[in-house]
Structure formats: structure tokens, C-alpha cells
A and B are shown apart, each in its own frame.
Chain A
Amino acid sequence: MTPILVAEKVSKSFGDHTALRDISLEIPNNCIYGLLGPNGAGKTTLIRIINQITYPDTGQVFFNGEVLAPQHIAMIGYLPEERGLYKSMKVGEQALYLAQLKGLSKNDARKKLKYWFERLEIGDWWNKKIQELSKGMAQKIQFIVTVLHEPRLLIFDEPFSGFDPINANKIKEEILKLKKKGTSIIFSTHRMESVEELCEYIALIHKSEKILDGKLWDIKKAHKNNIFKVGLQVNGQGKGLLEELEARFQISESVFDPAEKQLDFTLKLPSGNTSQVLSHLAERANLTRFEETIPSANDIFIQTVKAKGE
């Protein structure tokens, strides 16, 4: 299937400042794609290019196989990080206006808005002004306006900021439902832990450059260091066993609890081959735990940046 979005060597600079340098990305259809990186890395610039708010200096962007063009605007929904609504405008009127700007007819927009307002239980807000709503309430409206025209690609820039945990969860569920319906979703955030559970693909952007991208699971596999958490049930010989193992393997963070007869430690292997160490351990004691540690996106990010010599 054609990827929903492809960026080819996209560069953008503002005066002397380079915001993006030769960024190439491929966002597969119907996936959740995490665009990660610290503040100021260039995520927002890239998103603005996808939304045709700014244009790349060099490079090209393809939407569903076609060169990105104005008619694609109606197929993209964008929730910017800097977001807000007209304060003195009524909720319903404002939502209708924004939906019409995205190309929906007034009747269609009204029908769809009704559906969403009922779904998020905010039907009685229609004639309220935004300034009468709380911040979280306004965020709900903002979310509805973003997804209302059923875009093929949704872009969320820090979507959960401004939501309380309950509503954040509600929105997360809605996003997953949209994904199930076939929508492709880009998440942009600098809080990497928050997207790990959602994203199938990620790209790491650092100082205007992409330093890593791919399937999250593949990246994690590629970045694991053959480190294992091991737990042993020992019978009296705890200290001696630890010394013996330390002579044989690379062991750190060892903790021995004589009362529980529990020995825990971290083990680093030279390769991913575990059969030898497992059989050795099984011979000496009762194995209660043997778990490979998978690095978090944050760990991978820090590791990759360090590896680049920065």
C-alpha cells in the first residue's frame, strides 16, 4: 500500500537558522507515527510543511503518492501545539465555521458536529461562548474540530497537554478508534514516554536532523544491549554463588536478601545467545526471573545522540 506521507530530503531554514536538514521520512498508511524530539528540534516546522503553512526550501513531500498540493489540505486534520479558538464566538458557530473552512458543506458539518457533541457528551455547549468554557472543555471542542472532516491523516502536536487524566484517556481512546477506522496518525511530542504505548513507528529528530526512524519494535530490538535482569532462589550458598558467578559473567547491581534467600542482579552478555548462561544458572539454583531489558525510546534517544558524539 502506498505510504500516506513521504518526505524526501526536506530542508528549511529561516535566515541563518536551519530548522530542518535533509529530512526523509516515510509514514505508512493506517499507523500511528511518533515524531519525537526535544523542543526546538524542528518537529513543528516539519508539521507546518506537511500542512502547507510553510514550504520547504529544497526537497519534496508526497501525500498518498501525489506531490503535496492544496487539494490535500481537506484530507489532513491538524491539532497544533499553539492552539485556541475565538473567545467571543459561540461554540457551535465556531465549529461550523472551521469545518466549512476545511471544505465541508454547512449541512454535513452540522450533522457531524451533532454526532460528535453527543458522543463526547457536550451537546448543551452549542450556544456557549468559548470564554465561558474551561480549558479542558475548549480542548474537547478543538479535538472535534480537528477530526470532524474525517481526514485521512491526522496530526497531533502535543495532543494531551491541557487535558486532565480522565479526558486525556477518553481522547486517547477516540484516537485509537480513528486508527481502527483507517486513519493515519502522526504524533509529535517531546515527552517520549507518553507515546510509547501508542506508536508503531517513530522518528527521532534532533537539532534539525533525523537521527533515527523505523518501527518502534525494530528500533528497540536493534538497541538492546543484551542486558538481563536475573532473579535466583538460593539455598544457603548465596554469597559464594554470587562470587562464583561474578568471576564467570559480567554482573552488576547485585542484591542479596538472606531472609528471602533471593539473589537479584543484572547480567550483561557478549551476545544475544542465552542458552549457555541459562543452563549454567539452572544447574546452580532455582531461576525465578530472567528478563531482557528493552530500552525506552528515551534511552534510545539519549544513546543515539551520544553515539553521534555530542
Chain B
Amino acid sequence: MSKLGLIIKREYLAKVRNKSFVVMTFLSPILMVGMVVLIAYLTKINDSEKRIIAVVNQSAYLQDQLLPTADISFVILDAISLENAKDSTLAMGYYGLLHIPPGPNLETIAERSYLFTKENPVSYVLDDLESIFEHRLRQERLQNLGVSARDYATVAQNFEIKISTFDGEKNLKGINEIKAFIGGGFGYLIMMFIIIYGGFVMRSVIEEKTSRIIEVIISSVKPFQLMLGKIIGTSLAGVTQFAIWIFSASLLLFLALLLLDVDMTALGGASGIPQNSMTAMASLPEPSGNDIQKYADELFKIPWFLLLFSFVVYFILGYLIYSSIYAAIGAAVDNETDTQQFIFPIILPLMLAIYVGFFSVFSNPHGPIAVAFSLFPLTSPIVMLMRLPAGIGEGGVPLWQFISSILLLGLTFLAIVWFAAKIYRVGILMYGKKPTYKELYKWLKYS
């Protein structure tokens, strides 16, 4: 076996045999699914709890309007004084008491109405009650202006503009968001992978430094081989872990949902597997039966092959760039506490890519910001993947942008790995110095 192969094998085994790694690998899906199930369960409990409002209505108005909503229902207390009503509300354990006093007209009645509760009422109770009053008041005022109740009903009408492409194909609302969400899922995966496993690479380098084995090893292999082997070995361990996570999480989730009979769509975006495109769909407003077919068609039109291919390319290049920086940081310091000042500048472009992606690319996938960030090498692995579901060419990412993005990323990869390897080579043999950026710059000039 070649030396690089040996190093990769050792790093991989050292990682996957590590106790905390094993625990994390098998515990995470359980925790994740447990959380999803818990959220679903809590939502269910929450839904079933209706607040009961006692009502003392001494007016002639609003009698018919007090209909139960999803969150509240009403108990009408007849022929009872307000004081008695308060007592019985408390005695019965109702949530509150709505008092509608007598009055000459609706305006004054509404003005004088009160809701009594034990503590500050929750917002949706207030919202529901207020909308009852608002609705009735609007009706009343329009009636005063000569609009009949029937006319009013026809006026209150939602309107949706229909959209279409020039060639007459019917466009779908929210499809851009869905596409960006799918690409964003891939981008998010890359970011998580970089942050988790880049950190592992860094800690592994620091461990070699503090255990003083580094000089023993590099008297046998080149430092670059060691660095590369470490990065590859760690990432293979990462891929293993992710595969186990995705597989077992989907399995567990499926089982849990089956057992608990939780409505899939009720979960919405909370299901915790961002890479699963089904959840992206679920988080959007429920489309009507006819539209589902169209959305499905549209999803099939996403260039999956291109997307997966680019994911692999951006993943490998992006991960190698970032993890070699992590390795260089590990080499430059003596212990993990010294890494903070160097870590932040690395995380920054990753965070920026995610935020820019979700705020700018979602709304305008081919706008100037999206283009710039999908070309800039430190953010392109994430942002470009959010744009790519629209395809390449007309209506999607222009071919030149796609090619130059990959070219720029490739060039940056070469440059950064070269720099990182230099810092790594000098750094691993330096002890007891707290490095500054100036010091690192000096190291670059050592041959």
C-alpha cells in the first residue's frame, strides 16, 4: 500500500473508532428524529386545546358572530349579572369572560366591551376576538354607507394574478423557491460538512503536534502527503457518518411517523432533513390536486444529473480548500484555544454564502448579488448550487458563469492548498510560539 494510502487508512480508522464519533453517529439520528417527533406531538397537543370564553352579551348585536374558531369557543351566559358571571367563569375554569354591554349602537358597544382574564391573554385569542369585532364593524359602517350585506360578501374576494412564460407554458408559484431550496439544501450540506470535518482535521493536526509524533512521521513521509492523507481520511469518515445519518434518520423518521400516525404535511419544514426535497415541498402552501402534478413535473425538469455532478465538484473543491486552511491553522497553533482568531475569518464567507443565498438568491436567482457570490470562490460552492436547479443556459445560469465559477474555484484551490501546505510544513515543527498573521506571512517565505 502506498504511503498516502496508509495515512488515509489510519486517519479513517482513528476517526471512526473514536468513541465520541461512534456515539455521535448513532445518537444524532435518534436525537434528531426524537426532536421532530416531539415537535409534532407538542403541536398536536397544542392544537387540541381550545380556550373557552364565557360571554355576557347585554346588547342586541354580535349574537350571531360569536362562532367557535379553531382556537376558541364561546359559552353564552344568559340573564346573569356581570359580577356573578365573573365568579362563575373562574369557578368553571374558563379562559376568560367577554362582556358586551348594552348600548345605543354598535360603535359604542364595541368601544365599551371588555375581555376579563386571569393573566395577560394569549395573542391568538385576542386576534380572533378582534377580528370578530372588526368584521362586524366594517359590515356596519358599509351598511351605513348603503352597501348591503350581500354586496359586501361579493366585495371580499381574494385575487391571484396568473403567471405564464412567453411560450404560453403555465408558470407555477413558488417553484423558484422550491428549486433554490433544493440547491440550498446541497449548499447547506457542504457548509455543515466543512465546519464539522474541517474542525476534525484541525484537531487531528493539533493532536499530532501536542503528542509530538509529528517529527517521527515526517521523517518518513512528506508533510504534504500527511496533510492530504489526513484531509481525505477524515472526509471519508465524514461521508460514512453522513451516510449513516441520512439512512438511519430517514428510516427512523419513517417508522416514527408510521407508529405515531402523524400527518406528514403537518410537520412542514421542521422535519430536520434539509437535503430531503420532500420537506421543501411540504413547507409551501398546500397546492391543489391539479397543481401537484405540475409541481412534480417541474421538479422532474430540474437537471438532477447536472446538479449532482456540480454538487460533487463543488463539494470536493470547496471542502479541500477549507479543510487545508483548517489544517494550516492546526499546524500554526499549539492548542485549540489559540485557534479562535483564525477560525472566524474562515466561517465568515461560509455564513455569508448561506445568508446571501437564502435572502438574495431565493428572491432573484440570477441578480447581480447572486452572480457575484456564485463566482467568488469561497462562496461559490454554496451559492452556485442554489442557482443551478434552474439549469444552465436560457432561463438558468449562463454557461460562462458556470465555467468561470468552477475555473476560479479550481485556481483558488491550487493557490490555497499551496499556501496552506507551506504554513503547515513550517508550523508543525514550531512549538511554544503563539502565531500572529505577521508570523504566518514570514513562514510563507521560508523555503
The reply to whether B216 and A80 form a contact with Cβ atoms under 8 Å apart is yes
Query: In angstroms, how far is the closest chain A Cβ from the Cβ of B83?
Result: 75
- Among A83-91, A180-188, A251-259, the one that faces the other chain is A83-91
Query: In angstroms, how far is the closest chain B Cβ from the Cβ of A17?
Result: 10
B70 in the interface (beta carbon within 8 A):
no
Identity of the chain A residue whose Cβ is nearest the Cβ of B208 in the assembled complex: A86
Which residues in chain A, 116-163, are within 8 Å of chain B measured between CB atoms? 142, 145
The reply to whether B6 and A97 form a contact with Cβ atoms under 8 Å apart is yes
The reply to whether A101 and B6 form a contact with Cβ atoms under 8 Å apart is yes
Which residues in chain B, 210-254, are within 8 Å of chain A measured between CB atoms? 211-213, 215-221, 223
Identity of the chain B residue whose Cβ is nearest the Cβ of A82 in the assembled complex: B212
Number of interface residues of A (CB under 8 A): 27
Please indicate the chain B residues that have their CB under 8 angstroms from the CB of A88 in the complex: 14, 18
Number of interface residues of B (CB under 8 A): 26
The reply to whether A85 and B220 form a contact with Cβ atoms under 8 Å apart is no
Which residues in chain B, 176-213, are within 8 Å of chain A measured between CB atoms? 207-208, 211-213
B264 in the interface (beta carbon within 8 A):
no
Whole-angstrom distance between the alpha carbons of A102 and B442 in the complex?
A: 32
The reply to whether A86 and B213 form a contact with Cβ atoms under 8 Å apart is yes
Please indicate the chain B residues that have their CB under 8 angstroms from the CB of A15 in the complex: 442, 445-446
Binary flags per residue of B1-28, CB closer than 8 Å to A gives 1, else 0: 1010011001000100010000000000
B431 in the interface (beta carbon within 8 A):
yes
Identity of the chain A residue whose Cβ is nearest the Cβ of B213 in the assembled complex: A84
The reply to whether B216 and A73 form a contact with Cβ atoms under 8 Å apart is no
A78 in the interface (beta carbon within 8 A):
yes
The reply to whether B6 and A100 form a contact with Cβ atoms under 8 Å apart is yes
The reply to whether B215 and A83 form a contact with Cβ atoms under 8 Å apart is yes
Whole-angstrom distance between the alpha carbons of A76 and B219 in the complex?
A: 9
The reply to whether B447 and A82 form a contact with Cβ atoms under 8 Å apart is no
Please indicate the chain A residues that have their CB under 8 angstroms from the CB of B442 in the complex: 15
Q: Which of A53, A97, A100 contacts B219 (CB 8 A)?
A: A53
The reply to whether B216 and A98 form a contact with Cβ atoms under 8 Å apart is yes
A164 in the interface (beta carbon within 8 A):
no
Which residues in chain A, 67-87, are within 8 Å of chain B measured between CB atoms? 73, 76, 78, 80, 82-87
The reply to whether A57 and B14 form a contact with Cβ atoms under 8 Å apart is no
Please indicate the chain A residues that have their CB under 8 angstroms from the CB of B447 in the complex: 55, 57
Task: Give the tally of cross-chain contacts (CB within 8 A).
Answer: 64
The reply to whether B219 and A73 form a contact with Cβ atoms under 8 Å apart is yes
The reply to whether B211 and A78 form a contact with Cβ atoms under 8 Å apart is no
Known A53-B429, A82-B431, A86-B211; judge A100-B1 contact (CB<8 A): yes
Known A15-B446, A89-B14; judge A101-B220 contact (CB<8 A): yes
Query: In angstroms, how far is the closest chain B Cβ from the Cβ of A159?
Result: 14
Whole-angstrom distance between the alpha carbons of A98 and B447 in the complex?
A: 27
The reply to whether B220 and A102 form a contact with Cβ atoms under 8 Å apart is yes
Binary flags per residue of A82-114, CB closer than 8 Å to B gives 1, else 0: 111111110000000110111000000000000
Binary flags per residue of B284-296, CB closer than 8 Å to A gives 1, else 0: 0000000000000
Q: Which of B10, B18, B208, B220 contacts A73 (CB 8 A)?
A: B220
Whole-angstrom distance between the alpha carbons of A142 and B216 in the complex?
A: 9
The reply to whether A51 and B446 form a contact with Cβ atoms under 8 Å apart is no
Whole-angstrom distance between the alpha carbons of A78 and B220 in the complex?
A: 9
Please indicate the chain B residues that have their CB under 8 angstroms from the CB of A145 in the complex: 216
Query: In angstroms, how far is the closest chain A Cβ from the Cβ of B426?
Result: 8
Binary flags per residue of A30-52, CB closer than 8 Å to B gives 1, else 0: 00000000000000000010011
The reply to whether A87 and B211 form a contact with Cβ atoms under 8 Å apart is yes
Known A87-B211, A100-B1; judge A80-B219 contact (CB<8 A): yes
Whole-angstrom distance between the alpha carbons of A98 and B218 in the complex?
A: 11
Query: In angstroms, how far is the closest chain B Cβ from the Cβ of A148?
Result: 12
Identity of the chain B residue whose Cβ is nearest the Cβ of A146 in the assembled complex: B216
Contacts A/B (CB < 8 Å), 12 sampled:
A48-B429, A53-B215, A53-B429, A80-B219, A82-B212, A83-B216, A85-B211, A88-B18, A89-B14, A97-B10, A98-B217, A101-B221
User: A residues within 8 Å of B by Cβ?
Assistant: 14-15, 48, 51-53, 55, 57, 73, 76, 78, 80, 82-89, 97-98, 100-102, 142, 145
| Further 13 A-B residue pairs, CB within 8 A, beyond A48-B429, A88-B18 | A15-B442, A53-B218, A73-B219, A78-B215, A78-B219, A82-B431, A84-B211, A85-B216, A89-B14, A97-B10, A98-B220, A101-B7, A102-B220
